[in-house]
Every structure is written in structure tokens, then in C-alpha cells.
């Protein structure tokens, strides 16, 4: 009788074990290219546990039959998968073609109209010089102060200052909360921290190595790795290096 009771208890526990939590593994690829994707967020909607794919696109997360996994990334369409077993998965994400490839960054996007009072020129009116043939900025300034004509070194220094200000204005047109929110799921303090950390320098932004899509992708993945309570301690750190600066 005791033997039969033991067998009955064991047989009843087997389905419960089968329905218990297991480790679901797999790899995330880009659709068609089969390039493995790093930094993809894998979330179990039942337990709300999250895993971020490694550089090989691999993930492992607790889950059981009937639970749903959501795969999401800034530059790919989210995908949802229902767990029906614990065999290794292959997940293919489709790129968001209507996002970052619409950003067109050129050196002529910033249009500074009019003139302004420059403290470095004793509050005199300063205007940008333009090429009469192309209409583009030539990188210099027109100053109606005769004594600066005798000081070429100082004129060059002030011209460089104004050019840097112009370039910073161009960067600000891309790296601001309203614009970046169109491409990255950030807001409020997270957005402020991201902009402080990853707004590039003028030297890097206008270098041949800079690519906006790659830069935002790499910066966002690096940002996600920083614990929320530690971000204030790394503010001011250099952005990720994508090429020779």
C-alpha cells in the first residue's frame, strides 16, 4: 500500500516539474543577413525578468511553457514568441528602415541668420562670411573694427571660436531630447543623462569616422550597461570610440 502511494505521489509531481521554470536559450539574428545582434532586450512578460544578448547574439532566460518572450531593440521591430518547449531558439528581427536612415546630417543644415553681439569682439556686431557663389559659410567672420586688421593672430583665434559655435549649433539640432526621442526609447532623466554622456565633440562629429547610425546604436548599448544609480558618477565620460578621432 505504501509503495502504491509513493508511486502515485511521484506520478503527480512529474507534470508539475514539467511545467516549472526552465532556462530558455537561443540566438538573435538580423533577418536575411543572419548577422548576430548584440544588445537586444529579451523580456519574459510573465516574470518581467530581462536579459540583454551578448556580442554573439546569445541569450538565456528563465521561462516556462505558456509564457511569452518579447525581443526588442532600438533599431529593429519588436518580436513576440510563445514558449512551447525549451529547445534552443533562433530569433530573426527586421530592421526599422523608417528610423535612423531618415536622418540626413550635413555641414550645411544649420542656418544662422542675422548677426549677434559678440562679447569677444567688445560687443561689436559680427556676421558670418559667405561664399557669394555657393552661399555656404566660409568659416570666417566679417568685422568692422580697423584695429583687428593689425592683429591677424587674434582674428584667427576669434574666427575659430565662431566656427566652433556654429558647429555646436549643428550638433544641437540632432542631439536634443525632442529629436533623439524619435530614435531611442529614452525620456526624462534617462534622456538628460544620455545627452550629457554621448553628445559628441565637434572634432569627432565632423570627422570622416563619424556615422550617426553606428554612433547612436553603440552609445545606446553602452548606456544600457550603466546601472541607473551609477550614471551620475560617470557623467562627463568620453563617448564610445567608433573610429579614429
CB atoms within 10 A of CB 240: 17
- What pLDDT does 194 receive? 86
Residues of the chain with pLDDT under 70: 1-20, 97-151, 232-245
Q: Is the pTM of the predicted complex or chain greater than 0.75?
A: no
Tens-place pLDDT, residues 174-207 = 889 888 888 898 888 888 888 888 888 888 888 8
Tens-place pLDDT, residues 120-143 = 445 555 554 556 665 554 555 555
Element (H, E) at 179: helix 177-180
Smallest Cα–Cα separation from 196: which of 144, 156, 238?
238
**What per-residue string of b and e applies to 73-100 under the rule 16 or more CB within 10 Å gives b?**
bbbbeebebebeeeeebebbbebeeebb
Alpha-carbon distance of 160 to 170, in angstroms, equals: 15
Domains of the chain: 2-95 (2.60.40.1120), 116-174 (no CATH), 175-234 (no CATH)
Amino acid at each position: 500500500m505504501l509503495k502504491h502511494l509513493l508511486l502515485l505521489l511521484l506520478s503527480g509531481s512529474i507534470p508539475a516539474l514539467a511545467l516549472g521554470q526552465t532556462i530558455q536559450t537561443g540566438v538573435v539574428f538580423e533577418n536575411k543577413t543572419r548577422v548576430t545582434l548584440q544588445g537586444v532586450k529579451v523580456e519574459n512578460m510573465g516574470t518581467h525578468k530581462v536579459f540583454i544578448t551578448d556580442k554573439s547574439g546569445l541569450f538565456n532566460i528563465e521561462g516556462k511553457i505558456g509564457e511569452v518572450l518579447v525581443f526588442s531593440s532600438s533599431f529593429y521591430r519588436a518580436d513576440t514568441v510563445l514558449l512551447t518547449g525549451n529547445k534552443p531558439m533562433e530569433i530573426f528581427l527586421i530592421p526599422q528602415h523608417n528610423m535612423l536612415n531618415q536622418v540626413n546630417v550635413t555641414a550645411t543644415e544649420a542656418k544662422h541668420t542675422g548677426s549677434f553681439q559678440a562679447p569677444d569682439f567688445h560687443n561689436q556686431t559680427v556676421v558670418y562670411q559667405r561664399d557669394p557663389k555657393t552661399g555656404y559659410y566660409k568659416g570666417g567672420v566679417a568685422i568692422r573694427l580697423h584695429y583687428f586688421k593689425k592683429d591677424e593672430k587674434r582674428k584667427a583665434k576669434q574666427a575659430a571660436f565662431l566656427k566652433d559655435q556654429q558647429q555646436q549649433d549643428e550638433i544641437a539640432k540632432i542631439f536634443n531630447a525632442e529629436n533623439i526621442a524619435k530614435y531611442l526609447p529614452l525620456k526624462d532623466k534617462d534622456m538628460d543623462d544620455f545627452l550629457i554622456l554621448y553628445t559628441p565633440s565637434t572634432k569627432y562629429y565632423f570627422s570622416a569616422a563619424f556615422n550617426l547610425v553606428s554612433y547612436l546604436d553603440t552609445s545606446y548599448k553602452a548606456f544600457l550597461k550603466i546601472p541607473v544609480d551609477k550614471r551620475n558618477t560617470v557623467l562627463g565620460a568620453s563617448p564610445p570610440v567608433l573610429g579614429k578621432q
